[in-house]
Structure 1
Amino acid sequence: MRPLRRLLLTALLGLAAGGSTYALASPTAPQEGVEYQTLPSPQPTDTGSKVEVIEFFAYYCPHCYAFEPGLEAWVRKQGDNIVFKRVHVSGGAAVVPQQRLFYTLDAMGLLPQYHQKVFDTLHVEHMRFANDEQVFEWAAKNGIDRAKFASVYNSFGIGAKVRRVDSLMDAYHVEFWPMVVIDGRYVTSPTHAGKGMPEGSSEAQQQQGVLQVMDALVAKAKAK
């Protein structure tokens, strides 16, 4: 074979191989080990015929803040297919007021109304929720009964939920966030989705990609 022809053939084969890599790794047809991982020990779910979806997140996390609008729209689109839950990850004493704030809003049935407001307070207004008093002041400023909120916030039940987070993070192998677990077994994230995308994909593209991965994993779980 002539050297030039051999070179052209090698180049074409290389392009074909590279193209097949991205064809195989796709958010709409995710592959284990690329766009998602399977937990070595599946965790129990209590959602009946609906698929459990858990997001591990933190209020202080800018990536979680950026992911929130797309995730909220995805949850609405899934409707009765899923039961959606959130876990606010731990991060030492400085994060505990944010955890307690999250679990208190959830316990009082106020999370849908105030979840985005908490994010905005942190990332737009730059209030850190560094201590309990800052949290109480924020609650009162936003029309929540301060005394009632403080009572729930300081309750044994909220403390128990905060203490349980570390064991949940261990069980689900949570090392970064936002991270999503589907059906107690499939783990994915924008970072996972980015592994199946061309190099240089933006965070926004990875976030859109993981929502497609999540669609596929919910369908996979329902099929089982």
Structure 2
Amino acid sequence: MISITKGLFTFLALVCLSGIVVAQGQKIEEGFDYRILPIAQPLESKGKVEAIEFFWYGCPHCYDFEPELMSWVKRQPKDVVFRRVPVAFRDDFMPHSQLFYALEALGKGDALNEKVMYAMHKENKRLLTESEIADWVASQGIDRNTFLATYRSFAVVSKARTAKQLTEAYRIDGVPTIVMQGKYVTSPSIAGTKAKAIAVMDHLEEKIRKDKYKQ
């Protein structure tokens, strides 16, 4: 019994190892797994690897990609800066962008972003009106009036509008989309799978370091 267990363990270890080798050995090509923007966009952080996720709370593909993306973010060293930009392809999606920046302003973004997605994709909450959004946020323990004041604030509305402009500048036509160093664009749909997209991000990260963080 012990020998069988050891044999099984060895077999599983070899399978896992071979999977890692395959993942690491994937061929990654410009034009197939990622593309380069014709005009590189300004970086917020110099001397760093900058990664931006363009997303929409209501996008099922963004929700599906969330676990893999957050796992990637958590294992990054200090020279990697990750941020999110909410996308509003239609004006009626702007409340979601305001929700994102209001939660960020209140210091609740990291704690509640995933819960917003869960509410929309698993609990069938649309959260498209100010009232619906405020009621849901209040159910998460945030004072309703405080949230509404932040949600309606000039700073939050301005950030939501700027996000829409960034979406156009980065030529984002679908989400989730990852842009690294202001010019390298990839996504699960571009790369083919979520796992390949993560592999491409790792590849681009190393490329950016070798290029000494230049654009």
Provide the residue aligned with 1:182 in structure 2: 180
Query: Displaced runs of 4+ in structure 1, greater than 6 A?
Result: none
> What is the distance in 2 between the residues matched to 1:104 and 1:166?
16
Q: Quick one: which amino acid aligns to residue 215 of structure 1?
A: D
Matched with 2:205 is 218
TM-score (norm 1): 0.81
Unaligned runs of 5+ in 2: 1-23
Identity %: 39
* Contact 1:27 1:193 (C-alpha < 8 Å) held by counterparts: no
The one-letter code sitting in structure 2 at the alignment partner of 1:220 is K
> For each residue in 1:99-150, what CA deviation from the matched residue of structure 2 results, as whole angstroms up to 9, or x when unmatched?
1111111111111110110000000100000200011101111101111111
> Using the alignment, how far apart are the partners of 2:76 and 2:128 within structure 1?
35
Contact 1:90 1:99 in 2 (8 A): yes
What is the root-mean-square deviation in Å for CA atoms of aligned residues? Answer: 1.4
- 2:194 corresponds in structure 1 to 207
Residue 209 of structure 1 aligns to which amino acid in structure 2?
K
Q: What is the aligned partner in structure 1 of residue 30 from structure 2?
A: 32
Deviation of 1:92 (Å) = 2.2
Tell me the distance in 1 between the aligned counterparts of 2:182 and 2:27.
20
In the alignment, the residues of structure 2 paired with residue 174 and residue 27 of structure 1 have an alpha-carbon distance, to the nearest angstrom, of 29
Secondary structure at the aligned position of 1:30 is classed as: coil
- Superposition deviation, residue 94 in structure 1: 2.2
Matched residue SS, 2:78: helix
SS across alignment from 2:81: strand
Structure 1: runs of 5 or more not aligned: 1-25, 195-205
Listed one character per residue, the Cα deviations across residues 78-111 of structure 1 (whole Å, up to 9, x for unaligned) are 1313110101101323212211111111111111
Counterparts of 2:26 and 2:159 in 1: how far apart (Å)? 35
Alignment partners' CA distance in 2, 1:86 and 1:58 = 10
